[in-house]
Amino acid sequence: MSTQPLSDKSSNELNRMLKRLMRRQGVAVDEVPSLEGWNNFVLAVDQTIKEFSTNRELLEQSVKSTSLKLYQAYEDLKHESSLRLAQANLHQQELENLVQERTTELRNAQLHLEKINKRLEYEATHDELTGLANRNQLMRELNRCVVQLGTDADFGLCFFFIDFDRFKQINDRFGHLIGDKVLIHVTNHLSALISNTICFARLGGDEFVILMEKLEESEAIKLAQRINDTFTHPIQIHDTEIPISASVGIVLADMSYQSADEVVRDADIAMYRAKTTGNCYQLFDEEMRAEHLEEIELEGELEIAVREQQFRIKFEPIVDIKESTIFSIESLVRWTHPKKGIIPPDRFIPLAEELGLIIDIDRIVFAKACKQFRQWREHGIISPNQKFNVNLSCSQLQRSDIVPFLLRIVDMSDISPDDVVLEITESYLLADSELVMRNLNEINKLGFSIFVDDFGTGYSSLSYLAKYPIHGIKIDRSFVRDLEESTESKELIRSIIASRP
């Protein structure tokens, strides 16, 4: 085996190592060792080499074991990390899905809320039955227009207030379901007549309004006439014909108006003037407002009049032409105002009906008439067979206490139901309510006579006279006044006489 000489650096390093080893074994470095010393030295070197080898093996095993453990730990950590990462990714996906679901739910909830808000806003501004604008929407539009009136001299408004006559009787006779259908028909008819409106609204009940930009007076009147002409023929609901008519109040508004309420107020005044005068439509003027203020004042005074019983009775004879005798004595109410004097019935009776005071007035008049009738009989002023007539409002017939009231008053007055003729208005019979029918039948059975007053001013139908216990009718003067010229009036009166039992 060939050897190569060591380099000086390696030789020196080996020498130092040998010297250190020899010192550890007690061998003097500068002395030549003995054989035993060499043996011991060699044995020590051999032992050291063995220990070194053993330590090296142990170290290698330890390093190998540690490496395996570290590798296993690394693999475990890598597996755990992969698992955690997969779980994190799954959790993140779940969170993203949940966020997406919640976002979708929130979007749907927002859309639903928007629909609800739109529905609520629609319901707040529209009439549920007809789909027209309601009072809230009308007043919003009208207020906006009134503001424009004050800033734009060329801008103007035409406001129509429409009320349908005797609509309550339609509800009473045919029921509210038919009444609602009538209102829908009315809405459709009015919609066909108008265009370019700012607002077409139903205020409630049978009250409708049309808000338009400025119209000339003649144009406004033409439209009102068209509205009235539309309802000259009955409305057909299924197999039933329902007569209906309209009263229209018109306001041509200018910059003098300061609020929407003023416009509605004046149109309402004009509408009631049309209703009371029978002109079908009425254009508002300042005189109406003054009269309206008087009407408001009269309302308060009428309440006081009822409370203080400021009513007296005017008596007029009803003559039997055939026998040339007084058949009965009619009792007519008059209001004696403490400052204004006598106020005629056509001035305060409609107001009393509107305010619900007519029942109290009826009962005051009935009690006074019964008392006066008894006094006349006691003093021999009237014959024993004499009767007296007294008006009975529809409101009385629609009360369950009317029969006990009538009996109590005649008993207190010591007269008989046979002495009394109760007059009811023709149009009230059209209500055709069960309570009215029951009350009339019971009143008839007790001995009271029942007359129909102002016959011919309503629907002029003879068909219901056989249905109700009617003992007589008082024909309205409109038929008698033109009796010679009117063939229709002659025929109607001839039919009335022929239908008499």
What string of DSSP letters covers 120-153? HHHHHHB-TTT--B-HHHHHHHHHHHHHHHHH-T
Residue 204: which pLDDT band, with cuts at 50, 70 and 90?
A: confident
Q: Which among 16-25, 67-76, 405-414 has the top mean pLDDT?
A: 405-414
Is residue 13 scored above 60 in pLDDT?
Answer: yes
**Alpha-carbon span 326 to 345, nearest angstrom:** 24
Which residue has 């409106």 as its token pair? 197
CA nearest to 157, candidates 284, 57, 2: 284
Nearest C-alpha neighbor of 240 from the set 161, 321, 175? 175
Mean pLDDT value across the chain:
84
Q: Are 359 and 395 in contact (CB under 8 A)?
A: yes
| pLDDT value, residue 222 | 94
Spell 339-377 as b/e; 16+ CB within 10 A means b. eeeebeeeebbeebeeeebbbbbbbbbbbbbbbbbbebb
Q: What pLDDT does 14 receive?
A: 64
Query: From CA 76, how far away is CA 489, in angstroms rounded?
Result: 117
Q: For 11, phi and psi rounded to 5 degrees?
A: -65, -45
Do 240 and 272 contact (CB within 8 A), yes or no? no
pLDDT of residue 444: 92
Alpha helices by DSSP H, 447-486: 477-481
Residue 454 CA to residue 475 CA, distance in Å, equals: 6
User: pLDDT tens digit string along 83-126?
Assistant: 888 888 899 898 899 999 999 999 998 999 888 888 888 888 89
Is residue 484's pLDDT more than 80? Answer: no
**Integer Cα distance of 397 and 375 in angstroms:** 28
User: Which residue has better confidence, 247 or 474?
Assistant: 247
Residue 318's beta-bridge partner residues?
Answer: 328
Nearest of 300, 354, 309 to residue 335 by alpha carbon: 309
Phi, psi of 217 (to 5 degrees): -55, -40
- Chain segment 417-442, per-residue pLDDT in tens: 999 999 887 665 655 567 888 888 99
Task: Give me the residue label for tokens 């009143």.
Answer: 443
Question: 202 burial class (0-12, 13-18, 19+ CB within 10 angstroms)?
Answer: buried
Per-residue confidence (pLDDT) for residue 150, from 0 to 100: 86
CA 234 – CA 457 distance, rounded (Å): 17
Q: 496 pLDDT band (50/70/90 cuts)?
A: low
Tokens of 310: 């400021």
Q: Above 80 in pLDDT, residue 463? A: no
C-alpha to C-alpha distance for 70 and 232, rounded to whole angstroms: 107
- The pLDDT value recorded for residue 6 is 53
Tracing tokens 């005629």 back to the chain, one arrives at: 344
pLDDT band at 460 (very low <50, low <70, confident <90, very high): very low
Residue 142 CA to residue 251 CA, distance in Å, equals 13
Query: pLDDT class for 35, splitting at 50, 70, 90?
Result: low
Question: Quick one: pLDDT at residue 63?
Answer: 81
**Rg over CA atoms, the chain:** 55
Asked if 244 contacts 167 with a C-beta cutoff of 8 angstroms, the reply is yes
Q: Can you say how many angstroms the Cα of residue 16 is from the centroid of all Cα atoms in its chain?
A: 116
- pLDDT, position 284: 93
* Burial category of 273 from C-beta neighbours within 10 Å (exposed 0-12, middle 13-18, buried 19 and up): buried
Specify the pLDDT at position 260. Answer: 93
Percent residues over pLDDT 90 in the chain: 35
Continuous H helices in 259-331: 260-277, 286-308
Range of weakest confidence among 11-25, 121-135, 212-226 = 11-25
In the prediction, which pLDDT does 277 show? 79
CA distance 118 to 123: 8
- The pTM of this model reads 0.58
Handedness of CA 64, 69, 75, 77 (dihedral sign): negative
Query: How far, in whole angstroms, is CA 199 from its chain's centroid?
Result: 18
Q: Which residues, 6+ apart, have CB-to-CB distance to 435 below 8 Å?
A: 397, 398, 400
Max intra-chain CA distance, the chain:
191
Give the per-residue pLDDT at 472.
Answer: 80
Which region among 160-164, 317-321, 330-334, 360-364 has the lowest average model confidence (pLDDT)? 317-321
What confidence tens digit (pLDDT) does each residue in 288-331 have? 888 888 888 989 999 999 999 999 999 988 887 887 788 889 99
pLDDT value of position 71: 85
pLDDT surpasses 60 at 413: yes
